[in-house]
Structure 1
Amino acid sequence: MKFDQALYTAALYALCSLRGARALWPQPASMTNGSSALQLNVSNFQINLPSNAPLDLQQAAERSMAEMRLSSMQPLVVGRGAKNAAVVEQAPLLTSINVAIGSSSNRHRRKLSINQVALEPRATASIKSIYENMLTDIKEYDESYTLDIPADGTSATLSAATALGALRGLTTLQQLIWALPADGLGSMRYLWGAPFHIEDKPAFPYRGLLLDTSRNYFSIASLKHLVDTMTFVKMNQFHWHITDAQSWPLALDGDYAFLSQTGAYSPAEVYTKADIADFVQYAGKRGVNVNVEIDMPGHEYMGVSSMPGDLVACGNQLPWTAVANEPPSGQLRLGQNTTDKFVAGVIEQTAAIFPGKYFSTGGDEINLACYGKTKNSDIDESLLKPFLEKAHAKVADAGKIPMVWEEMAINFPATGKTLRNGTIVETWTNADNVKAVLQANPGVDLIHAPSTYFYLDCGRGVGLTGSPSPSWCTYVNAWDMYAFDPLNGTQGVQDGPKRVLGGEAALWTETVFEGNLDTLIWPRTGAVAEVFWTGASYETNKETKTRRATEAAPRLNDLRYRMVERGVAAQPLVPHWCALRPDRCPDVSS
């Protein structure tokens, strides 16, 4: 497609003229705004919550106030907004925002000073907490909110049906606030583009990030750091690929304790029950649910190979290329009682540790040669189908909804027919497989993670000793991700669009450690957040607009600079000169 300079310039002019209104990420579903400025003094601004607000919403409001106080983000324009100073100095002062949840009354509110650092727990629990919202079926999430900020300085209002929706609205408020260059870390901030009226909700309920913690270990602190940034872009699902053939860091009890004792990289590189409970609570209070994955029957070696029962086939064989996608090789032996008993125990214990509604049993990259077979039909009906039926029965017994990779739905037809209604199938090899998954399995739902759009590790080599081989997949930049159409492949499928729940970016960690984690994920994954929050279109000042990269590019730069200010090592998208002058740096090659 030929670059349209006129369209780009028009979009950019609109962005720069109303910078405060256009720096939101993800783009709200509907927004109207004006052109007035408002002052906001972070030393005495108040967020007024309902008197029965749950504790985690009170804590979220405190964090929002702390972020506003610490932020010195200035608009990405030449001069960083210094020309706005004269107007801001004469602008009305916004002193508070009133938050209403459900039918909560505006008359009885708990006022939170910007300097307040702790809140007393409240006895009433009539409003469900953010954390409790996250433990339900994602189809039941209500993340909608309405934000009104008048231009005359009277109190702003934030209305939401749930505490979760109120959290999303507070995040939007943070992104509307700017600092003047001369003010430094003083107390005065400003908003540009009032009055604001924002009616917002996500286009898709599932907006996730997958992290593999088996190839390399990542501390709980680093996972919390990821969640802090996920909630800033309204992502809500952390898919924890916690074990694989390379290591088993998940600590279980009884006979299963042997898994991490023999399968973790070291005693210090283990996730205990206490670690997981701490992380799940931390994430849930920030509007992020944690979904665990124990990949089976493939991707099993460390820890499992040391268990009694001869559980692993083709364990750590050489050449590994004959029986696996990467070393060490290993898959669960199918068709034996010891394997079924082992899987049942792992699912039962793991499901008890993770309170979320979803449990992934994986199912990708089964190597037939490992079983001495040559065709999928050699194991489909006879071995894999009964294996998955038993595994998913245990998942259901634990009150969870199963998740699987696409192979279980389309590569093994007999197995696919046993998938329970509501099972979530995750496509990853090719976005074109969406229709095949939905048509072959009428009762399942779907999330997207195609490697051609959403794999964050692509283009970094193969992660093998001394190998000059290129990566099996090419690098995916933010705009590749942003171009993704979540509904492609649903045409002609009964209820196809309704069965697409969303999608996620995925980071496999053969060549990743905590030092480059931020840079590989952010701000690229922000593109994924907007694809699934905003959808194909949005409304601005009563005009429906199609989501376009030319409009989004300066906003994603704004997001990246805000992330860096929050302590995130987000990768630059352009030189700083271009970030300040995006109209001078268009890509004219396409």
Structure 2
Amino acid sequence: MGVQKIFFLFMAVHYVLADEDTPVWRWSCDDGRCVKIRNDPKFTEPALSLESCKMFCNEYGLLWPKPTGYTNLGTYLSKINMNTIEVHLDKRGRSDDLMEAIRLRWKKLVTQAVPKFVIPKASGKSMDVYLLNQNPDLIKFSLDMDEGYILNISPAANEKVNATIIGSNFFGVRNGLETLSQLIIYDDIRNNVLIPRDVTIKDKPVYPYRGVLLDTSRNYFSIESIKTTIEAMAMVKLNTFHWHITDSQSFPFVSKKRPNLTKLGAYSPAKVYTKEMIGEVVKFGLERGVRVLPEFDAPAHVGEGWQDTGLTVCFKAEPWAKYCVEPPCGQLNPIKEELYDYLKDIYADMEDAFQSPDMFHMGGDEVSERCWNSSEEIQHFMIQNRWDLQKPSFLKLWNYFQTKAQERVYQAFGKKVPIILWTSTLTELSHVEQYLNKDDYIIQVWTTGADPTIRGLLEKGYRLIMSNYDALYFDCGYGAWVGSGNNWCSPYIGWQKVYENSPKLMSLEYSDQVLGGEATLWSEQADSATLDGRLWPRAAALAERLWAEPLSSWREAERRILHMRERLVRAGIQTESLEPEWCYQNEGYCYA
């Protein structure tokens, strides 16, 4: 950054030091980093605050995630009066209520730029924000929706600043507002609110699926903690909250058609998720550009709640390690025709509660042939069908279940929807095409990023979502809860590894088949009290990777993620700390 640009920055802010103490410190941009300097009272130019310096000291300023298209933050900062900001909506349609919701939320975000209990000066320019929604009737999520936007900020007559956001739909406009909120900063030297005056940003995400999974079965999470997670996701432009809502340990989802599942399976009557509670989360997510994707994991990972149905096998079997990966064991019995009536009812209740989601996750994780083989009834069924009791035949049994369950999903939803399954023995390359149609199924990869199955599935034409556990399992690195030592996927995964986990490098010429990625938080050792720290700011690192697929390393991003972490804290997110605050104020000194 040249001396001339710094001079323009000083001149544009029009600082007045009268009746104020001379600041002790100032910051100066030197070779892409903000350097903390003891202020000399004889220094004739106004002292530059830390955030003001950071805004212009690199190409992307304080933005997170970095934009993917043309980005120009200009060279000037203008003082603005927060009390005179007006947001104008354009082109009325079905998204009217959503546009009003993002207008109100944005005005709240702007106030978070100022520290609590501080009242900034009411001086500065008025600001008009114009939101141009080119398709005001589009309010549904899809994998091919356009989330891009164009943002322009420029001076206007009558001592005003104008900001215009153009999006092809509500989701693009929402993302543009998120970026605009990051451009409003607080000058703690002179108690002013500032914004870059000449800005042009053209931006859109690289991947359409950018998610966080939360398992609410192993431990229960309050609705407020879930909404807090979605709020933080919106701040970094993640767009999918994957709700792993049931498992073998508990069944908190309230099925109106099958209420006994919850009565028997919830940890307590208070620890449930009703249609009304889920609807509140879905609405909250939509207003923040975050889809809420339900998962009903089957045929394994079931147990509590199913006790009186007679539709499971090996539930609470011991020794559990013989039949499943963690207690309690349990799998659905695929030969019971009544099971598929239950499934259709559960799917229909989920379709209703989650308000017709554009996708559905059917799980398919960790199915155990030993569990099924422990049932004489299942053995008899397989022999009658001229199957033996070897692994290939249990895959046929699994396919028997999956085919019938898939049909029930389509019946419950009233249409075909994309179905997501975890990688498993069913998705092995030798037979995946025999069992799963690539046009019907999306495969979510949880094995390592170096797994050759990834390339094999891509070569066969499957679409993938990356959740490789070696970089995206946020429950790793804690003490074991079955046995001693650390848990199975230790060590802890730092934000740097999350940031470097590139779907493009894993898929190369097939990258167009990779829909994106997802951080997962399995909750054996997490609950509402620990949720924020488990996810943040590591999920923010994932957000930039999936939005921008940056060519640069985490080192370039380190200074910006420290600021993003500060923004999350100001929003009430109890994030983990990455470094001492000294590193935030002294850029470039904490990494060799």
What's the TM-score, normalizing by structure 1?
0.82
The CA distance in 1 between the partners of 2:578 and 2:319, in whole Å, is 41
The CA distance in 2 between the partners of 1:428 and 1:504, in whole Å, is 10
Contact 2:33 2:57 in 1 (8 A): no
- Structure 1 residues 351-379: Cα deviation after superposition (integer angstroms, max 9, x where no partner): 23222111111011112221238853131
Contact 1:251 1:273 in 2 (8 A): yes
The CA distance in 2 between the partners of 1:415 and 1:147, in whole Å, is 45
The range that moved more, 278-287 or 290-299, is 278-287
- The alignment's C-alpha RMSD in Å is 2.5
Q: Following TM superposition, by how much is the alpha carbon of 1:143 offset from its aligned partner in structure 2, in angstroms?
A: 0.9
Q: What amino acid maps onto 2:164 in structure 1?
A: T
The CA distance in 2 between the partners of 1:376 and 1:94, in whole Å, is 70
The CA distance in 2 between the partners of 1:170 and 1:408, in whole Å, is 44
Structure 2 residue aligned with 1:247, among 250, 254, 261?
Answer: 250
Partner of 1:316: 316
Q: Following TM superposition, by how much is the alpha carbon of 1:434 offset from its aligned partner in structure 2, in angstroms?
A: 1.5
Contact 1:243 1:295 in 2 (8 A): yes
Change (3 A) 1:352 1:95: closer
Which structure: larger Rg?
Answer: 2
Partner of 2:523: 509
Q: Secondary structure at the match of 2:251?
A: coil
Q: Secondary structure at the match of 1:165?
A: helix
Q: What amino acid maps onto 2:463 in structure 1?
A: D
Q: Do structure 1's residue 533 and structure 2's residue 547 form an aligned pair?
A: yes
The CA distance in 2 between the partners of 1:226 and 1:348, in whole Å, is 26
Q: What amino acid maps onto 1:173 in structure 2?
A: L
RCO greater where, 1 or 2, for CA within 8 Å and sep 6 or more?
1
Contact 1:296 1:331 in 2 (8 A): yes
The CA distance in 1 between the partners of 2:402 and 2:219, in whole Å, is 28
Q: What amino acid maps onto 1:396 in structure 2?
A: Y
Partner of 2:5: none
The CA distance in 2 between the partners of 1:359 and 1:174, in whole Å, is 33
How many residue pairs match? The answer is 516
The CA distance in 2 between the partners of 1:530 and 1:476, in whole Å, is 17
Q: Do structure 1's residue 405 and structure 2's residue 428 form an aligned pair?
A: no
Structure 2 residue aligned with 1:285, among 284, 287, 291?
Answer: 287
Give runs of aligned pairs for residues 141-152 of structure 1, distance below 5 A. Answer: 141-150=145-154
Partner of 1:461: 479
Q: Do structure 1's residue 166 and structure 2's residue 173 form an aligned pair?
A: yes
Change (3 A) 1:412 1:317: farther
Q: Secondary structure at the match of 1:67?
A: helix
The CA distance in 1 between the partners of 2:444 and 2:239, in whole Å, is 16
Contact 2:55 2:62 in 1 (8 A): no
The CA distance in 1 between the partners of 2:326 and 2:31, in whole Å, is 49
Q: Do structure 1's residue 25 and structure 2's residue 44 form an aligned pair?
A: no
- Structure 1 residues 146-173: Cα deviation after superposition (integer angstroms, max 9, x where no partner): 0111256542211111111111111101
Q: Following TM superposition, by how much is the alpha carbon of 1:548 offset from its aligned partner in structure 2, in angstroms?
A: 2.4
Q: What amino acid maps onto 2:455 in structure 1?
A: K
Q: What amino acid maps onto 2:434 in structure 1?
A: K
Q: Following TM superposition, by how much is the alpha carbon of 1:182 offset from its aligned partner in structure 2, in angstroms?
A: 4.8
- Structure 1 residues 405-444: Cα deviation after superposition (integer angstroms, max 9, x where no partner): 011652385465332414211000122231122234x2x3
Q: What amino acid maps onto 1:559 in structure 2?
A: M
Q: Following TM superposition, by how much is the alpha carbon of 1:320 offset from its aligned partner in structure 2, in angstroms?
A: 0.8
The CA distance in 1 between the partners of 2:204 and 2:274, in whole Å, is 36
Contact 1:46 1:96 in 2 (8 A): yes
Partner of 1:62: 104
- Structure 1 residues 306-351: Cα deviation after superposition (integer angstroms, max 9, x where no partner): 132x211111012111111000011112333233333233223322
- Structure 1 residues 187-224: Cα deviation after superposition (integer angstroms, max 9, x where no partner): x41024x4111000000110000000000001111111
Q: Following TM superposition, by how much is the alpha carbon of 1:142 offset from its aligned partner in structure 2, in angstroms?
A: 1.1
Partner of 1:524: 538
Q: Do structure 1's residue 12 and structure 2's residue 33 form an aligned pair?
A: yes
Give runs of aligned pairs for residues 125-164 of structure 1, distance below 5 A. Answer: 127-128=136-137, 132-134=139-141, 137-139=142-144, 141-150=145-154, 153-164=160-171
Q: Following TM superposition, by how much is the alpha carbon of 1:9 offset from its aligned partner in structure 2, in angstroms?
A: 8.0
Q: Secondary structure at the match of 1:350?
A: helix
Q: Secondary structure at the match of 2:297?
A: coil
Q: Do structure 1's residue 345 and structure 2's residue 345 form an aligned pair?
A: yes
Contact 1:385 1:414 in 2 (8 A): no
Q: Do structure 1's residue 430 and structure 2's residue 448 form an aligned pair?
A: yes
The CA distance in 2 between the partners of 1:34 and 1:350, in whole Å, is 48
The CA distance in 1 between the partners of 2:433 and 2:421, in whole Å, is 10
Q: What amino acid maps onto 2:217 in structure 1?
A: S
Partner of 1:111: none
Q: Following TM superposition, by how much is the alpha carbon of 1:19 offset from its aligned partner in structure 2, in angstroms?
A: 4.9
Q: Following TM superposition, by how much is the alpha carbon of 1:301 offset from its aligned partner in structure 2, in angstroms?
A: 0.7
Partner of 1:539: none
The CA distance in 2 between the partners of 1:469 and 1:557, in whole Å, is 29
What's the TM-score, normalizing by structure 2?
0.82
The CA distance in 1 between the partners of 2:357 and 2:549, in whole Å, is 25
Contact 1:361 1:403 in 2 (8 A): yes
- Structure 1 residues 269-300: Cα deviation after superposition (integer angstroms, max 9, x where no partner): 01111111111111112111111111111111
Contact 1:380 1:412 in 2 (8 A): no
Change (3 A) 1:377 1:435: same
The CA distance in 2 between the partners of 1:189 and 1:13, in whole Å, is 20
Partner of 1:417: 434
Contact 1:395 1:401 in 2 (8 A): no
Q: Following TM superposition, by how much is the alpha carbon of 1:67 offset from its aligned partner in structure 2, in angstroms?
A: 2.0
The CA distance in 2 between the partners of 1:337 and 1:9, in whole Å, is 71
Q: What amino acid maps onto 2:543 in structure 1?
A: A
Structure 2 residue aligned with 1:562, among 563, 567, 589?
Answer: 567
Contact 1:9 1:583 in 2 (8 A): no
Partner of 2:128: 96
Q: Secondary structure at the match of 2:88?
A: strand
Change (3 A) 1:578 1:489: closer
Partner of 2:382: none
Structure 2 residue aligned with 1:44, among 75, 78, 84?
Answer: 84
The CA distance in 1 between the partners of 2:55 and 2:109, in whole Å, is 25
Q: Do structure 1's residue 371 and structure 2's residue 372 form an aligned pair?
A: yes
Q: Following TM superposition, by how much is the alpha carbon of 1:51 offset from its aligned partner in structure 2, in angstroms?
A: 5.4
Partner of 1:113: none
Q: Percent identity of the aligned residues?
A: 29
Partner of 2:45: none
Q: Do structure 1's residue 71 and structure 2's residue 113 form an aligned pair?
A: yes
The CA distance in 2 between the partners of 1:260 and 1:17, in whole Å, is 51
- Structure 1 residues 210-255: Cα deviation after superposition (integer angstroms, max 9, x where no partner): 000000001111111111111111111010000000000011123x
Q: Secondary structure at the match of 1:462?
A: coil
Q: Following TM superposition, by how much is the alpha carbon of 1:527 offset from its aligned partner in structure 2, in angstroms?
A: 0.7
Contact 1:311 1:333 in 2 (8 A): yes
Q: Secondary structure at the match of 1:369?
A: helix
Q: Secondary structure at the match of 2:523?
A: coil
